[in-house]
Copies of this chain bind each other. A is one copy, B any other.
Amino acid sequence: MTDVNVEQPGGSGSHRAATMPVTERGRRTRAQLVDAARVVFEERGYLDARIGDITARADVAHGTFYTYFDSKQELFREVMSALVVDFRRIAAEVPIRGDRPIDRIERANRGYLRAYGAHARMMGMLENAALLDDEVREVRLEARRHWVGRAEYTFRRWQDDGVIARDIDVHYAANLLGSMVDRFAFVWLVLGEPFDEEESVRSMTRLYGRALGIDGA
- Please give me the residue from chain B that is nearest to A9 by CB atom: B6
A–B complex contacts, Cβ < 8 Å, 23 sampled:
A1-B45, A1-B48, A2-B46, A2-B47, A14-B50, A14-B52, A14-B56, A47-B132, A130-B191, A168-B203, A172-B200, A175-B195, A176-B184, A176-B207, A177-B180, A177-B207, A179-B179, A179-B180, A180-B180, A180-B183, A183-B183, A183-B186, A211-B211
Mark A22-47 against chain B: 1 for CB-CB distance below 8 A, else 0: 00000000000000000000001111
B144 and A172 form a contact (CB under 8 A): no
A124 and B172 form a contact (CB under 8 A): no
Picked from B48, B175, B180, the residue with its CB within 8 Å of the CB of A176 is B180
Min distance, Cβ A83 to any Cβ of chain B, angstroms: 16
Query: CA separation between A197 and B48, bound complex, in Å?
Result: 38
Chain A interface, DSSP helix/strand/loop, else mixed:
helix
Is A74 located at the chain interface by the 8 A CB criterion? no
Is A97 located at the chain interface by the 8 A CB criterion? no
B residues within 8 A CB of A1?
44-45, 48, 121, 124-125
Top 7 A-B pairs, shortest CB-CB distance:
A183-B183, A179-B183, A180-B180, A172-B203, A1-B45, A2-B45, A211-B211
Mark A192-217 against chain B: 1 for CB-CB distance below 8 A, else 0: 01010001101110111011110000
Min distance, Cβ A158 to any Cβ of chain B, angstroms: 14
B187 and A144 form a contact (CB under 8 A): yes
B187 and A204 form a contact (CB under 8 A): no
B residues within 8 A CB of A173?
203, 207
B residues within 8 A CB of A182?
179, 183
